[in-house]
Structure 1
Amino acid sequence: MHNIWSEEFGAATDAPILLIMGSMSQGILWPDEFVGRLTAGDRRVIRYDHRDTGMSDTVDFAAEPYTWDDIKGDVYRVMDAHGLRSAHLVGHSAGGLLAQLIAVERPERVRSLTVIAASPLGGGEGEVLVRALMGQPQPEGSLPEPSPEFVAFFRALMAGPQPSGRRAIVDGMIAEQRVLHGTGLPFEEDAAQLLQERIYDRARDLSAVANHRLAAAAKPDFEPVGVLHQVKAPTLVIEGSHEPAKPGHGAIIAEQIPGARLMIVEGMGHTLPPETHEELVAAILAHTAV
């Protein structure tokens, strides 16, 4: 069994919020200020590093392969370790996908559901991304594809040499954050440098995050199709007005989950910059007051 790093904030008697970050992403991408605002609103907040990210255990994937079912299983393990029979789930990007699946699969464990910058469960977002990067046409009915800037950046990344050494790797991570940030708000270069240096320095093995892609390839049919109507948890769907990776996907989630509410945050892209924290936290506190 692999060890998963987690930490919690706030009083044990407060309503619990479990923050689930996206693919290949450490839990500290839930910003400290964002977490602090939630705890100041009388919430018990837990964030964690997925396996093969940050301070959680890394594996030799060839020797110990796993799938996204196992990554989803880690969510339950974190909840169990913190003594949570149920929690308010807040998921970002692929973390939002995991949260949707858990809301379908184990509704008794989900007090409410908040998905941020995510794609609809069963929508085939991975295939849309691959086709966009390969310059292939999208079949009718496909999810909207990423922005041209997003596609151009990751095409160049795939074609170019991989950086080596701390400075070059961190510079590349900052460049990726800039693209994900979108064009709606100023990009704070110094803050990005501090964050990416922190991510680099706290990782057991930074390259291990690529195992998440291998896990997706190991079971490409991980996502059930046509099940979002089964979600019973009160649902809040949040998307930035300048989302570069999954533009318009939030509206599709909100359409498919009964009673879901869609919130568009002006200027936000695919990250959680400080300018958005007050609005995001106010919405999450209101939504989790159930």
Structure 2
Amino acid sequence: MQENEAKNEYLTGRERIVRTDGLELWAEDFGSPGHPTALLVMGAQAQGVQWNDGIVRRLVDGGHRVIRYDHRDTGRSSRVDFAAHPYTVADMASDALAVLDAFGAERAHLVGASLGGVIAQRLAVTHPHRVLTLTSLSSQPLGTDMAGAVRRALAGAPPLPGELPPPRPELLAALASAFPEPEAGVEEYLAARLPLWRVLHGPVLPFQEEEYRAMERRVYERARDVRAALNHTLAGAAGHGDAADLSSVTAPTLVLHGSEDPMFPPAHAAATAAAVPGARLVLIEGMGHTLPAALDDRLAAEILRHTGHAGRTV
């Protein structure tokens, strides 16, 4: 398998369509089926291929079978009429289990980014027998009322007592114009999306515009409907558990987070690590709320270090 971003050649695995609950979920796996499975769970409005090929390759080279997939309402997976068939984060967690079942993976190392981290946390609470280890990346504690925090921030109201900090003001401003009109072509789409990625990336590490442009072009070209992913915001606002539930997690847990995350400032990572017994917190200096290719080695190394002790059998 060859990877050449400049020529838009991407890592490709063994693709399949997973059918569950009347939906079709696109998924692919890499590496030996006999190796321990690592399920990569992306965040809200994000496709599975937004797990960098470099991270996938390094995890495979480290002895894992890697699975990534498109959530409902993203990429090549089914588009949902949310008004007629509303869903929640719990339903999205069920999708993740359906993917594992389709690939015959009884247990897996769960690696979830942003909303994917919340989904992975929920599975560690509700299905502990399916979870070898948990890695919560650029995420927040299960049950956090981020929708409420955002509403209060936009209204100029102070946070509630004990509330975790809301997204930074510059990110809230960028989110307001991050999606173009439905009839927009690819160039209009890119023009709307790149300012958001610049803010999400953070102010410390160099921003490689062409890297994000290539990623978003791929997202646009793969999507059945790029605006359908906005339904994830509605699903997240419906509630998804309670942070107190994290006290029951028995899977070894790593909390990976960027020091410059504008979506979930580092206090969210500290709260997650404090809620999970024995969790280990690792802050990546300079990282925002994105997965830049420059950090592929570091992120994969942290995940491999965390999952390596769990053995090589599924």
TM range (shorter): over 0.9
Aligned residue identity for 1:8? D
Structure 1 residues 195, 235: CA separation in 2 closer, same or farther (over 3 Å shift)?
same
Q: What is the percentage of aligned positions where both structures have the same residue?
A: 46
State the AA in 2 paired with 1:106.
H
Is residue 124–residue 143 contact of structure 1 (8 Å, CA) maintained in 2? no
Would you say the 8 A contact 1:111–1:233 is kept in 2? Answer: yes
Match of 2:83 among 48, 58, 62: 62
- Using structure 1 for the length normalisation, give the TM-score: 0.94
The 2-side partners of 1:215 and 1:88 are apart by 24
Aligned AA (2:286): G
Cα separation, 1, equivalents of 2:225 and 2:232: 13
Q: Say if 2:54 is the partner of 1:36.
A: no
User: What is the CA–CA distance in structure 2 between the aligned matches of 1:80 and 1:161, rounded to whole Å?
Assistant: 36
Q: Which runs of 5+ in 1 are unaligned?
A: none
- Are 2:244 and 1:244 aligned? no
Which residue matches 2:111?
90
Q: CA deviation at 1:225?
A: 4.2
Deviation at 1:136, TM superposition (A): 2.2
Distance across 1 between alignment mates of 2:152 and 2:167: 10
Instruction: Within 5 Å, give how 1:184-263 maps onto structure 2.
Output: 184-217=204-237, 220-248=238-266, 249-263=268-282
- Alignment root-mean-square deviation, CA: 1.6
- 2:15 is matched with none
Counterpart of 2:6 in structure 1 is: none
> 2:194 corresponds to which residue?
174
Q: Report the Cα distance in structure 2 between the residues aligned to 1:127 and 1:63, rounded to whole angstroms.
A: 24
Give the match's secondary structure for 2:38: strand
Partner secondary structure for residue 244 of structure 2: coil
Q: Are 1:147 and 2:172 counterparts?
A: no
Q: 2:37 corresponds to which residue?
A: 16
**2:28 matched residue in structure 1:** 7
Q: Which amino acid aligns with 1:143?
A: L
Contact 1:104 1:228 in 2 (8 A): yes
Q: Distance in 2 between matches of 1:167 and 1:112?
A: 41
1:149-181 deviation per Cα after TM superposition (whole angstroms, max 9, x unaligned): 2123234x28x9747222111221222111111
Question: 1: distance between equivalents of 2:197 and 2:240?
Answer: 27
Amino acid at match of 1:243: D
Give yes or no for contact 2:180–2:188 (8 Å, CA) kept in 1: no
Contact 2:180–2:189 at 8 Å: present in 1 too?
no
Give the paired residue count: 286
Gaps of 5+ in 2: 1-21
- Whether the 8 Å CA contact 1:20–1:89 is kept in 2: the answer is yes
Distance in 2 between residues matched to 1:25 and 1:76, nearest whole Å: 18
Give the AA of the match of 2:246.
L
Tell whether the 8 Å contact from 2:113 to 2:137 is kept in structure 1 after alignment.
Answer: yes
